[in-house]
């Protein structure tokens, strides 16, 4: 039989595309039988994103692995969308005929189709072609549990979540405060809410769900999903926790300026503040951060980005003269560095001088932090990050909580940041426990992906399942 191929259907966001590609490559490496990868590429909606996707693909094509990329025909993106979750979900749905045609045209047997979770509508294509369909979830098991529970919650909670009394019951998690629900479900009249409920319902139809986590990182949430407690009345889902899936770029010939600055700092003495590819602050919030850091007395490396240009989505490089209090840089020059553009977060977290991480709480960033044993202070900004922040503190114990005013665009007062940084970097019992737990999770993450580890074994089981499921696709 010709080598079966696993079809990957990612979306274009870096945190989604790179995670799914890296998972696919690990699948090839761990499989005891020969498999190949076929990646169906949707055209990104902006020229900047399209250029980034093209650069990722060029790197993968030069890797020498058995990975083939098929560019799908472009679709006219919707113009009447409200939120990004709706936009991505609708574009994925519009690609259904092109995905169907691409899979139908493949010569090798198809072992399975692995869909980014925003593409759950394409499970219809898998069913139509009689090929196994899997969902790949780039975030954590806690969020999978929440989304699987969401269709039932929609019936049980007739009001907005913030108006309900008591906490939200999500099996596998501590009682979830209504203030910690993901941003897309804070308004039931918003199409983003409708789409998240839709995806949660469709996940249960997949042959399995593949999650970028490790069994030991989230045992309670994974058990609740696998036992069917999140989907009462529907069959329990097969789950493959295969993480942490982290892409480590090769080290540059010359260390980045931020890394060179860290070389001069004492071990575990620096708190890193970095907020992902989409995180930015206006000047009023930047000044609060500056005041809090100055009063904390701790060393810091702060990656500060400014608001997007009019009509754009991506943060701009920060104008430090406009955004920071007068004299701040001079007063803190001996213990702080403010970096106003992109910085190599993974490389920075790996540095021995970094002892804590104030983060937006995106799951990829959290995994990088835990991989290096760095405890966190979550400062959620959008997407599922408020739920992540709750999980890091209440379920995983790897973070120090910080009060974020969600109704004021996630504003944090200087005094609250000062308190959280002091706690994280050595203040009291909460910080000590978070540091100990993060150190423990460093070993957990690394052991999971080594031969004999839980995620290594999950990938082998998944590869066997895929190989057994391989079918020759006929164009029905």
How do residues 315-350 score in pLDDT, each as one tens digit? 999 999 999 999 999 999 999 999 999 999 999 999
Q: Which residues pair with 71 in a beta bridge?
A: 41
Q: pLDDT class for 1, splitting at 50, 70, 90? A: low
Q: What is the pLDDT of residue 474?
A: 66
Give the helix/strand (H/E) hosting 222.
helix 219-226
> Tens of pLDDT along 362-411?
999 999 999 999 999 999 999 999 999 999 999 999 999 999 999 999 99
Cα 300 to the chain's mean position, in Å?
24
pLDDT, tens digit (0-9, with 9 covering 90-100), for 166-198 = 999 999 999 999 999 999 999 999 999 999 999
* 133 neighbors 204 (Cβ within 8 angstroms): no
Q: Report helix, strand or coil for 19.
A: helix
C-alpha 208/C-alpha 80 separation (Å) is 33
- Two tokens at 319? 């104008």
Q: How confident is the model at residue 475 (pLDDT cuts 50, 70, 90)?
A: low
Q: Would you call 16 a catalytic residue per the annotation?
A: yes
Question: Across residues 221-242, what is the average pLDDT?
Answer: 95
Burial class of residue 289 in the structure, from the number of CB atoms within 10 Å of its CB (0-12 exposed, 13-18 middle, 19+ buried): buried
Beta carbons of 83 and 183 less than 8 angstroms apart: no
Are 35 and 4 spatial neighbours (Cβ–Cβ below 8 Å)?
A: yes
- CB neighbour list of residue 246: distance below 8 Å, 6 or more residues apart: 22, 346, 364, 367, 368, 371
Q: Which helix (H) or strand (E) holds 150?
A: helix 141-156
Cα 457 from chain centroid (whole Å) = 22
Each residue's pLDDT tens digit, 430-467? 999 999 999 999 999 999 999 999 999 999 999 999 99
DSSP 3-state of 136: strand
pLDDT tens-digit map of 232-250: 888 899 999 999 999 888 8
Task: Say if residue 275 is preceded by a cis peptide, omega within 30 of 0.
Answer: no
Q: Rounded mean pLDDT of 113-136?
A: 98
Annotated active-site residue 116? The verdict is yes
- Spell out a b/e string for 254-270, using b for 16 or more CB atoms within 10 Å of the CB, else e: eebebbebbeebeebbb
Provide the pLDDT for residue 61: 86
Q: How far apart are CA 296 and CA 289, in angstroms?
A: 10
Neighbours of 406 (CB within 10 A): 15
Using the 8-state DSSP alphabet, how is residue 374 labeled? -
The CB-based long-range contact list for 54-62 (8 Å cut-off, 24+ gap) reads: 56/14, 56/17, 56/18, 56/21, 60/21, 60/25
The pLDDT assigned to 48 comes to 86
- At a CB cut-off of 8 Å and minimum separation 6, what does 450 contact? 456
DSSP 252-310: PSS--HHHHHHTTS-TT-EEEEE-TTT----HHHHHHHHHHHHHH--EEEEE-EEPPPT
* CA 80/CA 455 separation, integer angstroms: 41
* Percentage of residues of the chain with pLDDT beyond 90: 90
The residue with greater pLDDT, 237 or 251, is 237
Percentage of residues in the chain with pLDDT exceeding 70? 99
91 has pLDDT over 70: yes
Report the mean per-residue pLDDT for the chain: 96
> If you compute the radius of gyration of the chain from its CA atoms, what whole number of angstroms results?
22
CB 399 within 8 A of CB 393: yes
Q: Write the CA distances from 366 to 194, 212, 309, integer angstroms.
A: 27, 11, 28
Torsion of CA 83, 85, 86, 88, to 10 degrees: 120
| Structural tokens at position 272 | 């890193």
pLDDT at residue 298 greater than cutoff 80: yes
Rounded CA gap, 380 and 388, in Å? 8
CB-CB contact of 118 with 148 (8 Å): no
**Choice among 16, 98, 360, 386 that is catalytic:** 16
Q: Which of 95, 116, 199, 360 is catalytic?
A: 116
Half-sphere exposure of 160 toward its Cβ, with a 13 Å CA cutoff?
A: 13
Cα 36 to Cα 108: distance, rounded to the nearest angstrom: 9
- The residue-averaged pLDDT of 216-230 equals 97
């Amino acid at each position: 039989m010709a080598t079966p191929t696993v079809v990957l259907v990612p979306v274009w966001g870096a945190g989604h595309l790179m995670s799914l590609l890296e998972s696919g490559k690990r699948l090839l490496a761990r499989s005891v039988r020969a498999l190949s990868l076929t990646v169906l590429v949707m055209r990104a909606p902006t020229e900047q994103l399209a250029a980034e996707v093209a650069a990722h693909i060029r790197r993968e094509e030069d890797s020498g692995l058995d990975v083939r990329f098929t560019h799908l025909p472009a679709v006219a993106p919707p113009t009447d969308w409200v939120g990004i979750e709706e936009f991505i979900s609708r574009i994925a749905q519009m690609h259904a005929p092109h995905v169907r045609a691409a899979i139908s045209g493949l010569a090798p047997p198809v072992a399975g189709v692995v869909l980014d979770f925003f593409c759950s509508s394409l499970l219809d294509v898998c069913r139509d072609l009689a090929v196994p369909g899997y969902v790949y979830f780039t975030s954590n098991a806690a969020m999978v549990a929440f989304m699987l529970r969401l269709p039932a919650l929609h019936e049980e909670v007739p009001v907005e979540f913030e108006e309900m009394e008591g906490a939200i019951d999500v099996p596998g998690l501590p009682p979830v405060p209504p203030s910690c629900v993901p941003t897309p479900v804070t308004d039931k009249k918003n199409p983003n809410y409708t789409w998240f409920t839709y995806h949660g319902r469709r996940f249960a139809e997949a042959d399995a769900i593949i999650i970028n986590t490790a069994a030991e990182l989230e045992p309670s949430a994974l058990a609740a999903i696998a036992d069917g407690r999140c989907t009462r009345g529907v069959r329990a889902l097969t789950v493959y926790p295969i993480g942490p899936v982290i892409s480590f770029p090769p080290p540059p010939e010359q260390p980045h300026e931020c890394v060179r600055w860290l070389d001069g700092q004492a071990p575990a003495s620096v708190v890193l503040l970095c907020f992902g590819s989409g995180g930015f602050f206006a000047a009023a919030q930047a000044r609060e951060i500056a005041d809090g850091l100055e009063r904390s007395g701790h060393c810091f490396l702060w990656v500060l980005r400014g608001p997007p240009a009019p009509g754009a989505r991506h943060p701009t490089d920060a104008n430090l003269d406009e955004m920071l209090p007068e004299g701040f840089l001079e007063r803190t020059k001996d213990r702080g560095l403010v970096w106003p553009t992109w910085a190599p977060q993974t490389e920075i977290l790996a540095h021995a001088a970094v002892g804590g991480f104030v983060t937006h709480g995106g799951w990829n960033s959290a995994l990088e932090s835990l991989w290096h044993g760095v405890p966190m202070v979550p400062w959620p900004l959008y997407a599922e990050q408020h739920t992540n922040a709750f999980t890091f503190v209440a379920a995983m114990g790897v973070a120090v909580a910080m009060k974020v005013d969600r109704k004021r665009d996630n504003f944090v007062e200087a005094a609250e940041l000062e308190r959280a940084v002091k706690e994280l970097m050595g203040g009291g019992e909460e910080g000590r426990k978070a540091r100990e737990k993060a150190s423990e999770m460093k070993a957990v993450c690394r052991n999971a992906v080594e031969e004999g580890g839980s995620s290594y074994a999950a990938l082998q089981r998944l590869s066997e399942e895929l190989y057994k499921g391989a079918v020759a696709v006929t164009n029905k």
